[in-house]
Every structure is written in structure tokens, then in C-alpha cells.
Amino acid sequence: MAVTALVVFFLLTVFAGTASAQECSIDLEAQDELVVAYNDNADQIPGVLRGQLSGQSVDLRIDTSSGERQYAIRTDSEGRIDSFQEGQAADPTVRVETSASTLCSIIDSNDPVTASSAAYENGEITISGVGVVNSIKIEVVKVATRLLFSFL
């Protein structure tokens, strides 16, 4: 599903290398480097997916053993991150929720795309639009991608 692939690409790009097999933890000490790594690879996102990521304000919520961590992520018209900071997004358009254990399972998986798709299908990763218009847009994208992938 395109929305899942988009989120997987984002999560793996941003958090890959921040979790180890012995102790999976989310560490954003190198936040600037993570954003640069994501932006350097943003052109590899297929155009239709990049279009869904462009100009968004993402409220990323990750449940951890010590409580919820929130990240405010803004993307520009090219789908590149122009702002990434810990804290709640002031005016999010999209909300992505998952847990640190799910994120770690995906990162540690031999097949992160399949693991993340399964996590999405099982409700371990949720993606929703914020507000009526964005909710409708996200749901339309979900339905459209389900239909598209049912024919592939």
C-alpha cells in the first residue's frame, strides 16, 4: 500500500541505525544528520508517493516504555523535510502513530517493507488525516492504493 510504503520509507530512513539489536532505542542526537540522509534519498520515492508527502505537517507519535514521544515534521513541496523537531506539531495534516517496539521490530527485520506492511495491516502503525479534509484525502489514498495493488 502506498501510504504504508511512504511511512516505512520515512521511518526507516529517519530511524535506521538508531536502534541496535541488543537495546532498541530511538535516539535523535544526530537529528540533523538523519534529516540530511532522508532528504538526500527523497528523490528515490516514487513520484505519486512523494506527492502525498509534499507540503505536509506530520505529527509522529511513538509510544515508548517511558511514555509517548512526539515529533513535528514538515515537508516542503518536493517532499523533503524542512523541519523536524521533538514535540507536538502545531497544525498537523497527517498523524502517524506506532510504538517503539513496532519500530524496532521493523528496523531489526530482514524484510522491513514486509514487516512494516504487516504492522500497518495489524493496526500497529496507524495513519490518519487531521481534520475533515485531510481525513478524507488520506482515506481516498488508502482506498485507491488498495485497488491499485489488488490489480498488480
Rounded Cα–Cα distance for residues 45 and 64 (Å) = 28
Concatenated DSSP letters for 7-74? HHHHHHHHHTTS--SSS-----TTHHHHHHHHHHHGGGS-HHHHHHHTT-EEEEEEEETTEEEEEEEE
Domain membership of residue 131 as a residue range = 2-150
**In angstroms, how far is CA 148 from the centroid of its own chain?**
21
Overall domain count for the chain: 1
> 45-72, pLDDT tens digit by residue?
666 666 777 888 989 898 888 888 888 9
CA-nearest of 87, 120, 75 to 102 is 120
Residues 6+ apart with CB under 8 A from 139: 129
Rounded Cα–Cα distance for residues 83 and 136 (Å) = 25
Could you identify the residue written with the cell 530511538? 26
Give the domain CATH number at 101: 3.30.1050
pTM equals 0.75
**In angstroms, how far is CA 139 from the centroid of its own chain?**
16
> 4-52, pLDDT tens digit by residue?
555 555 665 555 544 444 445 555 555 677 677 778 877 766 666 667 7
